[in-house]
Amino acid sequence: MKTYYSPIHLEHAPPEEFEGGRMNPAVEVPARALGVLAEVKRRNLGEVLPPAEFGMEPIARVHDAGLVGFLSEASELWRKRYGADAPPAIPSAWPARGLRNRPDGDVEARLGTWHAALSAANTALSAAQSVAQGERAAFALARPPGHHASADVFGGYCYLNNIAIAAQWLADRGLRPAILDVDYHHGNGTQSIFYRRPDVFFASLHGDPSFAYPHFLGFADECGEGDGDGANLNLPLAMYTDWRAYANALTLAFSRIRAFDPDVLLVSLGLDTFEADPISKFRLGTEDFLRLGELIGGARLPTLFVFEGGYNLTALPQITVNVLEGFESG
């Protein structure tokens, strides 16, 4: 399988994040993708190619112009305000309920990163193109991740929704995409982008939002709206879910995906379901990721894998490539 990768993600290297009431070392770091890239090469998964440039049009098909404009200039505005060696851009004010949204306000009222996000979207699009041209599968080794970014809001380490941009691009070429999100966290951004759409199926297996981020979305009763009713499937799972329970949920997801009869499968490949992930609470072991890949491969669909979460830097390379190798053997 071909892997698409660009080193531009190295420009996006947040040192810290705010969690649990204090600053902590960031977990969504460049070493994630660098480790996976090395393992892809070590295990000879296939060619590693740079992404092509797709311009702004495929991004505009999914994202709000205000968000895209803001992300493209936020780093520069932040440096202008706080100096060239400014600390990471973290806002100290938010447009909470009852306040006015000020898309043109001071940088403290707007926030983000750009080149890396754009390159991640191009990486997903390049993998989509390769599958559209007849490859059985491709892997977009993209960061920052995307599945928490909605049309007009970024968050959860995500800026542009790489997989949604790729799915829309495929739909615009007459294909019928199904998205399977296996990240530990619900893909709230992807769900919201396609929630009213009957032509893109979205299924997500994730930690129940009663205890897991993103907390406000990802419940089982969210089935789609309007024309999209029935094209959204959430399978929230209990804390400490192991492979057995996970595989049952995955089988259910695939029965719904088969009923939708897609032309192409897009997998939001999060690896934070791993038992020793530092921010998650599932119990999938190293070998389970081979089985996960085999089950995905068993669907016999042209498949595009887009890298999402996964924060155990030691295991991440191996478990990521386990899914991809499992797919090829499945």
Quick one: 39 or 183, whose CB is closer to Zn ion?
A: 183
Residue 181 interacting with Zn ion (CB under 5 A): no
CA distance 309 to 173: 28
Tokens at 294, concatenated: 């085999």
Q: How far is the CB of 184 from Zn ion (least distance, A)?
A: 5
Range 301-330, binding Zn ion (CB under 5 A): 309
Contact 269, 163 (CB under 8 A): no
Q: Tokens for 207?
A: 């930690």
From candidates 39, 183, 277, 325, binder to Zn ion by CB under 5 A: 183
Instruction: Output 270 or 297, the one with its CB closest to Zn ion.
Output: 270
Q: What size, in residues, is the chain?
A: 330
Tell me the one-letter amino acid at 121: A
144 binds Zn ion (CB under 5 A): no
Strands (E), the chain: 2-4, 16-19, 22-25, 48-49, 137-140, 177-181, 201-207, 232-237, 264-269, 303-307
Identify whether 214 is preceded by a cis peptide bond (ω within 30 of 0).
Answer: yes
Of 51, 207, 228, 270, the residue at the interface with Zn ion (CB under 5 A) is 270
- Is 146 a binder of Zn ion (CB under 5 A)? no
CB of 28 to Zn ion, least distance (A): 9
Per the residue annotation, which of 12, 148, 186, 206 is the catalytic one?
Answer: 148
DSSP letter at 48?
E
Regarding 185 and contact with Zn ion (CB under 5 A), the answer is: yes
In the complex, minimum distance from the CB of residue 274 to Zn ion, in angstroms, rounded to a whole number: 11
The strand pair at 303-307 and 137-140 is best described as: parallel
Residue 148 among the catalytic residues:
yes
Which listed residue (28, 181, 272, 277) binds Zn ion by CB under 5 A? 272
- Nearest approach, Cβ of 311 to Zn ion (angstroms)? 8
Catalytic positions are 148
Q: Which residues bind Zn ion (CB under 5 A)?
A: 183-185, 270, 272, 309
